[in-house]
Amino acid sequence: MTYWSLNEADIDRIAIGVGILGTGGGGSPYLQMLMAKAVLRQGKSIRMIRPADLPDDANIIGLGGIGAPTVSIEKMEEGEEGVRVLRAIEAHTGRRVDAVLGDEIGGGNGIYPMITAARLGLPVVDADGMGRAFPEVQMTSFFVYGQASQPAALSDAEGNTLIITQAKTPEMLERLMRTATVAMGCTACMTTAPMTGAFVRQFGIAHTTSQAWKLGDAVIRARSAKHDPVAAILRESGGKLLMQGKVTDIARRIAGGFVRGALTVAGLGDDAGRVLTIDIQNEYLVATEGDRRLVMVPDLICIVDSETGRPIGTEEQRFGLRVAVIGIPCAPLLRKPEALAVMGPRAFGYDFDFVAFGTSVAAEPVAAYAEAKHNLPHRETCHEPS
Amino acid sequence: MTYWSLNEADIDRIAIGVGILGTGGGGSPYLQMLMAKAVLRQGKSIRMIRPADLPDDANIIGLGGIGAPTVSIEKMEEGEEGVRVLRAIEAHTGRRVDAVLGDEIGGGNGIYPMITAARLGLPVVDADGMGRAFPEVQMTSFFVYGQASQPAALSDAEGNTLIITQAKTPEMLERLMRTATVAMGCTACMTTAPMTGAFVRQFGIAHTTSQAWKLGDAVIRARSAKHDPVAAILRESGGKLLMQGKVTDIARRIAGGFVRGALTVAGLGDDAGRVLTIDIQNEYLVATEGDRRLVMVPDLICIVDSETGRPIGTEEQRFGLRVAVIGIPCAPLLRKPEALAVMGPRAFGYDFDFVAFGTSVAAEPVAAYAEAKHNLPHRETCHEPS
Say what the alpha-carbon torsion angle A343, A344, A348, A353 is, to the nearest 10 degrees. -170
Residues of B with a Cβ under 8 Å from any A Cβ are 84, 88, 92, 155, 158-168, 172, 175-176, 178-180, 182-184
Residue B382 has pLDDT above 50, yes or no: no
For residue A69, the surrounding DSSP H or E stretch is helix A69-72
pLDDT of residue B376: 43
Nearest CA in chain B to A257: B179
Peptide bond before residue B151 is cis, with ω within 30 degrees of 0: yes
pLDDT of residue A315: 85
Contact A166/B161, CB-based, under 8 Å?
yes
Contact A163/B158, CB-based, under 8 Å?
no
Q: What is the mean pLDDT of residues B333-351?
A: 95
pLDDT of residue A1: 61
pLDDT of residue B253: 83
pLDDT of residue A381: 35
Q: pTM (2 decimals)?
A: 0.85
- Confidence band, pLDDT 50/70/90 cuts, at residue A383: very low
Residue A69 has pLDDT above 80, yes or no: no
| Segments making up each domain of chain A, as ranges | 3-208, 228-348
Single-letter amino acid code for the residue at A286: V
Q: Are B7 and B22 in contact (CB under 8 A)?
A: no
Question: Which residue from A92, A179, A184 is facing B182, i.e. has the nearest CB?
Answer: A179
pLDDT of residue B368: 46
Residue A374 has pLDDT above 50, yes or no: no
pLDDT of residue A386: 37
Mutual angle of helices B208-224 and B8-21, in 10-degree steps: 100
Q: Are B25 and B283 in contact (CB under 8 A)?
A: yes
Contact A165/B164, CB-based, under 8 Å?
no
Nearest CA in chain B to A179: B179
Nearest CA in chain A to B81: A166
Question: Which residue from B92, B155, B166 is facing A160, i.e. has the nearest CB?
Answer: B166
Question: Which residue from B165, B175, B183 is facing A176, i.e. has the nearest CB?
Answer: B183
Cα–Cα distances (Å) from B45 to B9, B211, B371, B373, B378, in that order, read 14, 20, 17, 13, 16
Contact A166/B184, CB-based, under 8 Å?
no
pLDDT of residue B384: 36
The single-letter DSSP state of residue B184 is T
β-bridge pairing B127-128 and B161-166: unpaired
Q: Which of B83, B90, B149, B161 to mutate to test the interface with A (most CBs of A within 10 A)?
A: B161
- Confidence band, pLDDT 50/70/90 cuts, at residue A255: confident
Contact B165/A163, CB-based, under 8 Å?
yes
pLDDT of residue A384: 36
pLDDT of residue B147: 97
3-state SS assignment for residue B268: coil
- Ranges A356-365, B99-108, B373-382: which has the least confidence: B373-382
Contact B164/A164, CB-based, under 8 Å?
no
Residues whose CB falls within 8 Å of the CB of residue A108, separated by 6 or more in sequence, listed in order: A18, A22, A26, A27, A28, A29, A30, A31, A32, A65, A72
Q: Are A326 and A237 in contact (CB under 8 A)?
A: yes
Question: Which residue from A84, A165, A175 is facing B161, i.e. has the nearest CB?
Answer: A165
- Name which of A353, A364, A362, A355 is nearest A331 in CA terms: A362
Contact B166/A155, CB-based, under 8 Å?
yes
pLDDT of residue A376: 43
- Ranges A197-206, A312-321, A334-343: which has the least confidence: A312-321
User: What are the start-end ranges of the E strands in chain A?
Assistant: 3-6, 46-49, 59-67, 99-101, 124-125, 127-128, 152-155, 161-166, 187-191, 195-196, 205-206, 240-255, 258-267, 275-281, 283-289, 292-296, 300-305, 322-328
Q: What is the mean pLDDT of residues A107-121?
A: 96
Cα radius of gyration (chain A) = 19
pLDDT digits (tens, 9 = 90+) for A76-85: 788 899 999 9
CB count, 10 Å around CB of A175? 22
Question: Which residue from B84, B172, B180 is facing A160, i.e. has the nearest CB?
Answer: B172
Say what the alpha-carbon torsion angle B138, B182, B253, B14 is, to the nearest 10 degrees. -60
What's the mean per-residue pLDDT of chain B? Answer: 91
Q: What is the mean pLDDT of residues B18-36?
A: 93
For residue B34, the surrounding DSSP H or E stretch is helix B29-41
CB burial of residue A244 (10 Å; 0-12, 13-18, 19+): buried
CA distance A300 to A284: 8
Which ipTM score applies to this complex? 0.80
Among 3.40.50.10490, 3.40.1610.10, 3.30.70.20, 3.40.1160.10, what is the CATH number of A3-208?
3.40.1610.10
Contact B164/A162, CB-based, under 8 Å?
yes
Contact A162/B163, CB-based, under 8 Å?
yes
Contact A166/B182, CB-based, under 8 Å?
no
CA distance B5 to A327: 71
Which CATH superfamily groups domain B3-208+365-373?
CV3147-like domain (3.40.1610.10)
Q: Are B269 and B280 in contact (CB under 8 A)?
A: no
Nearest CA in chain A to B163: A163
Higher-pLDDT residue of B374, A135: A135
Quote the Cα angle for A27-A227-A214, to 5°: 45
Higher-pLDDT residue of A303, A378: A303
| Shortest Cα–Cα distance, B96 to chain A (Å) | 17
Q: How many residue pairs bridge chain A and chain B with CB atoms within 8 Å of each other?
A: 73
- Ranges A241-245, B145-149, B351-355, B368-372: which has the least confidence: B368-372
Q: What is the mean pLDDT of residues B255-274?
A: 90
pLDDT of residue A367: 63
Contact A88/B165, CB-based, under 8 Å?
yes
Cα–Cα distances (Å) from A283 to A219, A315, A350, B249, in that order, read 21, 10, 15, 47
What's the mean per-residue pLDDT of chain A? Answer: 91
pLDDT digits (tens, 9 = 90+) for A118-161: 999 999 999 999 999 998 999 999 999 999 999 999 999 999 99
CB burial of residue B53 (10 Å; 0-12, 13-18, 19+): middle
Cα radius of gyration (chain B) = 19
User: What are the start-end ranges of the E strands in A275-347?
Assistant: 275-281, 283-289, 292-296, 300-305, 322-328
Contact B168/A158, CB-based, under 8 Å?
yes
pLDDT digits (tens, 9 = 90+) for B137-146: 999 999 999 9
Among 2.40.100.10, 3.40.50.10740, 2.40.390.10, 3.90.700.10, what is the CATH number of B228-348?
2.40.390.10
CA distance B322 to B108: 23
pLDDT digits (tens, 9 = 90+) for B272-326: 999 999 999 889 999 999 999 999 999 999 999 999 999 999 888 999 999 999 9
Residues of A with a Cβ under 8 Å from any B Cβ are 84, 88, 92, 155, 158-168, 172, 175-176, 178-180, 182-184
Q: Which residues pair with B196 in a beta bridge?
A: B59
Q: What is the mean pLDDT of residues B117-146?
A: 96
pLDDT digits (tens, 9 = 90+) for A360-372: 888 888 864 544 4
- Confidence band, pLDDT 50/70/90 cuts, at residue A382: very low
- Confidence band, pLDDT 50/70/90 cuts, at residue A380: very low
- Confidence band, pLDDT 50/70/90 cuts, at residue A70: low
CA distance B345 to B87: 36
